[in-house]
Amino acid sequence: MRQSFDEHTKPSFGREHAPLIRQAMAAQGLDGFVIPHEDEHQNEYLPAANDRLAWATGFSGSAGAAVLFKDKAAVFVDGRYTLQVRDQVDPEVYEIRDLVDGGVPAYLQSEAKAGWKIGYDPRLVSPDALERLKTAAAQAGAAMQPVQGNPLDEAWGAERPPQPQAPVVPQPLDYTGEDSAAKRERIGKSLAAEGADAALITAPTGVAWLFNIRGGDVIRTPLPIAQAILDADGKAQLFLDPAKVTAELPAWLGNKVRLEPPSALGGALAELKGKRVLVDPALSSAWYFEALERAGATVVKGADPTVLSRACKNPVEIEGARRAHARDGAALARFLAWVKTEAARTLPDELEVVRRLEAEREATGALKDLSFDTIAGAGANGAIVHYHPSRRMARRLELGSLLLVDSGGQYLDGTTDVTRTLAIGYPTSEMRDRFTRVLKGNLALARVRFPAGTTGSSLDALARLSLWSAGLDFDHGTGHGVGSYLGVHEGPQRISKVPNTVALRPGMIVSNEPGYYKEGGYGIRIENLQVVTEPAPIPGGEREMLGFETLTLSPIDRDLVDPALLSPEEIDQLDAYHARVLEMIGPQVDPETRAWLETACAPLSRAA
């Protein structure tokens, strides 16, 4: 078992830990302290040792922040976590606020008092975020003050888990499709073209991609915690805990990469005096900027040069993604057949559902890790976006309800992420109406053709139109980027209402996951991963158009589809998808599963 159902936090954390942090704050003369979710590496998933927000508040979500003043405190979460936070955080210790609407800056501006000193850890805050905090504090007459020692870390003390030291291994060319030396030369040239002498790569994902290495320091993602300096000539220094360096690593990295311990980073930055150094203000904390400025280097603020290259998968990576999805789809088919036949009779609880799915993925023999903790939301739990089953919260399946399962696997050849919503027994007509509207959105976003330069912001509404027209919507983004045996959430592309200037480019993998959530009732989400295809002509047209190839291969529950709501074009599209699922997955599964799959993939048009 990889997934645990124990809760690592308790609502009492706030009451227990906030006083300890306030004590350490007071010792440093601070009137307030800002606690972001992000750690030193600006990762989404954190080593337990760095999940400061969870320890301070009890809130265990993947995004958020807290502010502790000497006399009051608040925790900030986004729309995904509004239900979870109420369950995990003691509202008498932390007022619950919206992370996006105003967020921390608005709280500082309205609640800080003139003359207050508000601490922040410069290793945890990006310079852009810091700028906003400073402006907000100044409007209240308060001042932001960098701390030397993090008062939360001091309060945490001996209870704090140790830093991870997972071995770092090569990721072979069969999976990456491009040699690290070639990547470094290509990225190095782009640095030179922009007038930079070097780039500081601080995001573990960027380091993993650039050097074709993988690690295990961060849960659910094969990331090595490491930093690098890449010179414009393709040479590099890689800062990595010696305890994590495996025997094969030095030869794999070659003689143009100097391995250094993390303690050498400060000295290496100091040696960049007089150089023009590119640093990404969205991915690197304020500490790096300050260190470079102290060293006398010229900081060039710009996007991490590995980000766009990493996002646009090469043919080898795309082929790997197809293989990973075919393998994952077979495991999922066995699981879905079990849910729709056996589980619909025995009505197990969510934990059993999660265990069964994990066992099917394990049985592929290729699973390196889950790509995130499986969400199995039965009935009302399905309406809690980003819910994870726990012993305390888990519900049993019930007839006449829905089961939402969002899951994924990390394989050497690709990362998967798929959501299916299943009717247990007979669904209501409302459930079928809502499900079909979500499906219409998913289909629209799968079939769209669009010109070069189009961003995910321009396409987001396609996934919502059929819900909007019925007075419905969902409160999360429609799609996120996905890595190649890397992060299951990776930028810079996304499909969202939020303005985004990054155009979708061939090779980018994005999720397509509209949903609908009825609080206290049920949740619906349909999620496929899809890869952006090369621009191609359309007969009779004038401009080549990009499009999507759906990678995920798993049947959509026909019990939840109301064909009367679909156009003939949509029915054809769904039937063609199901035919492809059967063709790709059928040969991989046992006869019993295959028989189920044939029914599950039967054309709707035959029924209509």
The binding site for a copy of itself (CB under 8 A) comprises 139, 195, 448-451, 453-455, 457-462, 465, 468-473, 497, 499-501, 537-545, 567
Minimum distance, C-beta of residue 455 to a copy of itself, in the bound complex (Å):
7
Minimum distance, C-beta of residue 199 to a copy of itself, in the bound complex (Å):
17
The token duo for 66 is 């807290």
CB-wise, 29 or 540, nearer to a copy of itself? 540
The number of C-alpha atoms within 13 Å of 96 and in the hemisphere containing its C-beta is 17
CB-wise, 47 or 427, nearer to a copy of itself? 427
**Torsion angle of C-alpha atoms 445, 451, 455, 457, degrees rounded to 10:** -50
The token duo for 133 is 């905090």
Q: Which of 296, 258, 263 is nearest to 277 (CA)?
A: 296
Q: For residue 41, report the phi and psi dihedrals to the nearest 5 degrees.
A: -110, 10
Cis peptide before 250 (omega within 30 of 0): no
Angle among Cα 457, 131, 229 to the nearest 5 degrees reads: 80
Q: Is 299 helix (H, G, I), strand (E, B) or coil?
A: strand
Give the span between the Cα atoms of 446 and 463, in whole angstroms.
9
Give the span between the Cα atoms of 16 and 343, in whole angstroms.
41
Minimum distance, C-beta of residue 84 to a copy of itself, in the bound complex (Å):
21
The token duo for 496 is 């969202």
137: CB partners within 8 A, 6+ apart: 108, 109, 112, 116, 118, 143, 144
Minimum distance, C-beta of residue 470 to a copy of itself, in the bound complex (Å):
5
Angle among Cα 257, 262, 264 to the nearest 5 degrees reads: 80
CB-wise, 183 or 434, nearer to a copy of itself? 434
Distance spanning both ends of the chain, measured CA to CA: 43
CB-wise, 426 or 468, nearer to a copy of itself? 468
Q: Is 508 helix (H, G, I), strand (E, B) or coil?
A: strand
CB-wise, 148 or 501, nearer to a copy of itself? 501
Minimum distance, C-beta of residue 301 to a copy of itself, in the bound complex (Å):
11
Minimum distance, C-beta of residue 474 to a copy of itself, in the bound complex (Å):
10
CB-wise, 342 or 544, nearer to a copy of itself? 544
Minimum distance, C-beta of residue 425 to a copy of itself, in the bound complex (Å):
24
CB-wise, 16 or 569, nearer to a copy of itself? 569
Minimum distance, C-beta of residue 473 to a copy of itself, in the bound complex (Å):
5
The answer to whether residues 270 and 292 touch, using CB atoms and an 8 Å cutoff, is no
Minimum distance, C-beta of residue 250 to a copy of itself, in the bound complex (Å):
39
CB-wise, 62 or 496, nearer to a copy of itself? 496
Residue with tokens 């158009």, as numbered in its chain: 545
CB-wise, 39 or 433, nearer to a copy of itself? 433
The token duo for 579 is 């035919």
Instruction: Report the relative pairing of strands 198-201 and 276-279 from DSSP bridges.
Output: parallel
